[in-house]
């Protein structure tokens, strides 16, 4: 699942000309601890309630503190696991989403992430995850299952998400093994596009970091 599909339709950004009092009021209203700072559709950073409370006065303007703020974000086409990693490593209640031109699209909340994980996958159980991207007319679960089963592996769950305004779909497969390297090779050999994969392997530090981020996010 890609980030643009998870953007909140209600949470607003804040303009740098606003002060700390306004920011805290908005955080209380939306029940979050962070706000995206946006000016003319461009993302400038993220401000937290803890940072505001460290100011000399809550009446100070956000613009005065921009150079001291972090700017974590995800791009519109990044995958679920990448979003989790950014949220967990920066201890965020929201993460801003930017388009291909780095313009601000909105935010994803940590609450939405928890709901999505619970709804779409048995992610905490043992096994790897493979995400395939394909034209919806090329989708054949029988063929995909055959490739997986030829590697003595079974599909625990599958989930299809249509990609935004296109004929493409994103198929997420949860498998009963962490050893998915041969399956990934077979998919590529059969012409499938693997857009993301997730496995718990010590020799692969990138996947291990993402796995640990997910576990910390699910078990704070």
- For the segment 27-36, what is each residue's pLDDT rounded down to a tens digit? 999 999 999 9
Are residues 202 and 96 part of one domain?
A: no
> Which residue, 70, 62, 63, 101, is CA-closest to 87?
70
Q: How many CB atoms lie within 10 A of CB 62?
A: 24
The encoded tokens of residue 46 equal: 């993220």
What pLDDT does residue 128 have?
86
- The reported pLDDT for the residue numbered 83 is 86
Q: Which residue has the tokens 């679960």?
A: 141
Length of the chain: 220
Residue scoring higher pLDDT (94 or 197): 94
- 127/88 same-domain check: no
Judging by DSSP bridges, how do beta strands 193-198 and 42-48 pair with one another? Answer: unpaired
Same domain for 162 and 91, yes or no, is no
The answer, yes or no, to whether residue 164 has pLDDT greater than 70, is no
pLDDT score at 87: 87
pLDDT at 209: 61
Q: Is the pLDDT of residue 203 over 60?
A: no
Do 49 and 36 share a domain, yes or no?
yes
Q: Is the pLDDT of residue 46 over 90?
A: yes
Instruction: Give 17 or 199, the one with higher predicted confidence.
Output: 17
State whether 101 and 135 are in the same domain. Answer: no
Distance of alpha carbon 57 from alpha carbon 69, whole angstroms:
17
DSSP state letters, 140-203: -HHHHHHHHHTTT--EEEEEEEEPTTSSEEEEEEEES-S--HHHHHHHHHTT-EEEEEE---TT
The answer to whether 147 touches 190, Cβ cutoff 8 Å, is yes
Does the pLDDT of residue 215 top 60, yes or no? Answer: no
Q: Which helix (H) or strand (E) holds 210?
A: helix 205-218
Helix 205-218 to helix 110-120 angle (10° resolution) is 100
Count the domains in the chain.
2
- By CB atoms closer than 10 A (0-12, 13-18, 19+), residue 60 is middle
- Write down which residue in 97, 117, 137 finishes a domain: 117
pLDDT (average), residues 39-56: 96
Residue 13 lies in domain: 3-117
Mean pLDDT of the chain: 85
pLDDT recorded at residue 183:
96
Q: What percent of the chain has pLDDT over 90?
A: 53
Contact 121, 157 (CB under 8 A): yes
Q: Which residues contact 197 (CB under 8 A, 6 or more apart)?
A: 128, 129, 130, 131, 180, 184, 207
């Amino acid at each position: 699942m890609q980030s643009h599909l998870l953007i909140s339709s209600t949470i607003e950004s804040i303009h740098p000309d606003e002060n700390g009092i306004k920011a805290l009021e908005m955080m209380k209203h939306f029940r979050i601890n962070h706000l995206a700072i946006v000016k003319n559709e461009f993302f400038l950073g993220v401000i937290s309630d803890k940072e505001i409370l460290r100011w000399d006065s809550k009446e100070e303007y956000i613009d005065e503190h921009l150079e001291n703020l972090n700017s974590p974000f995800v791009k519109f086409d990044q995958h679920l696991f990448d979003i989790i990693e950014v949220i967990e490593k920066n201890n965020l209640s929201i993460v801003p989403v930017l388009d291909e031109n780095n313009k601000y699209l909105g935010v994803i909340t940590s609450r939405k992430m928890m709901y999505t994980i619970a709804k779409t996958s048995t992610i905490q159980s043992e096994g790897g995850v493979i995400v395939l991207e394909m034209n919806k007319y090329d989708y054949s679960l029988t063929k995909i299952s055959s490739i997986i089963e030829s590697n003595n592996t079974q599909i625990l769950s599958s989930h299809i998400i249509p990609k935004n305004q296109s004929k493409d779909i994103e198929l997420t497969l949860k498998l009963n093994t962490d050893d998915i390297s041969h399956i990934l090779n077979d998919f590529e050999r059969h012409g499938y596009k693997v857009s993301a994969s997730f496995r718990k392997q010590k020799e692969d530090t990138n996947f291990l970091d993402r796995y640990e981020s997910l576990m910390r996010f699910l078990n704070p």
